[in-house]
Amino acid sequence: MSGRTKLTYVESKLFLRDPTAVFFVIALPIMLLAIFHFVTTKSDDDAATKASMAAFVPAMAMSLCLTMLALNLLPTTLATYREKGILRRMAASPIHPGNLLLAQLFINLVTAAVSAVLVLIVGRTAFDTKLPGDVPAFLVSFVLGTWALFSIGLVIAAVAPSSKSATAMGLSLLFPSLFFGGAFLPKEDLPETVSTIGDYTPLGAALQALRDSWENQWPQTLHLTVLGVIAVAATAAAAKLFRWE
């Protein structure tokens, strides 16, 4: 087993021992699916509104999990390693500290994929939630959304000197993202100004792109462009700003 593979294995075990991570990946999306399924099935909304909510609920659950991983778990973990001097000590070992960054990215990406699969499977089998109508559009939206959100998390990890500061920075972005991105209420129920701002946020663009794929539509060019620009720009910024100690 190579050093990089062994490091990834060890980091995976540490990740799975964290109950917070397990909650965000498994419990939270399923809880959201159950709650919104109960609310929508008991409501008196017309058929069109219920159809819209049927696309909103799984896309929202998936997007929220990605946001939690990107803005909370990933930057806090890497900032903790910097704060405790783990990255500095690894620099003196045969294993380059960059491998730790790659391991964390790999773990979080796999976690995001697992969460997405759980939302699709549980939503379909337990709550009769429809699957994305346009699979290629869904894959493009999910990949771009994951990249954009995780790149923001890497920027936080690059500049946060401690776990507390990483958590504070992540939360300062999390709640505005949820509000403007339409995670609390569907885009069509938000004020026009808030909805417009949300189109230019990574969560808002990702959520709307996923909703479009669920409704058998190709995502809007605006949303895909926003995700692509944020992903490239934030990734470059994280690489430029990142410090091992």
For range 69-91, the mean pLDDT = 85
CA 6 to chain centre: 26
For range 59-69, the mean pLDDT = 87
Of all residues in the chain, what percent carry a pLDDT higher than 90?
30
- Residue-wise pLDDT for 209-226, tens only, equals 999 999 899 999 999 999
97 token code pair: 């500290």
Length of the chain: 245
DSSP for 163-198?
Answer: HHHHHHHHHHHHHHHHHHTTSSS-GGGS-HHHHHHH
Residue 96 in this model has a pLDDT that exceeds 90: no
In angstroms, the CA 186 to CA 56 distance is 7
Residue spans per domain, the chain: 3-241
* Average pLDDT in the chain: 84
In angstroms, the CA 107 to CA 9 distance is 9
In angstroms, the CA 207 to CA 235 distance is 20
In angstroms, the CA 205 to CA 42 distance is 29
* Alpha helix segments (H runs only) across 71-162: 74-83, 86-91, 97-127, 135-159
Residue 18 in this model has a pLDDT that exceeds 60: yes
pLDDT band at 14 (very low <50, low <70, confident <90, very high): confident
- State residue 160 phi and psi, 5-degree precision: -80, 125
- Residue-wise pLDDT for 185-207, tens only, equals 788 888 899 999 999 999 999 99
Q: Which residue has the higher pLDDT, 22 or 177?
A: 177
Q: What pLDDT is recorded for position 42?
A: 60
Nearest CA among 116, 127, 118, 117 for reference residue 149:
116
In angstroms, the CA 31 to CA 9 distance is 29
In angstroms, the CA 27 to CA 86 distance is 31
Of all residues in the chain, what percent carry a pLDDT higher than 70?
89
pLDDT band at 101 (very low <50, low <70, confident <90, very high): confident
Q: What pLDDT is recorded for position 43?
A: 55
What does pTM read for this prediction? 0.88
Q: What pLDDT is recorded for position 54?
A: 72
Q: What pLDDT is recorded for position 118?
A: 87
In angstroms, the CA 153 to CA 140 distance is 20
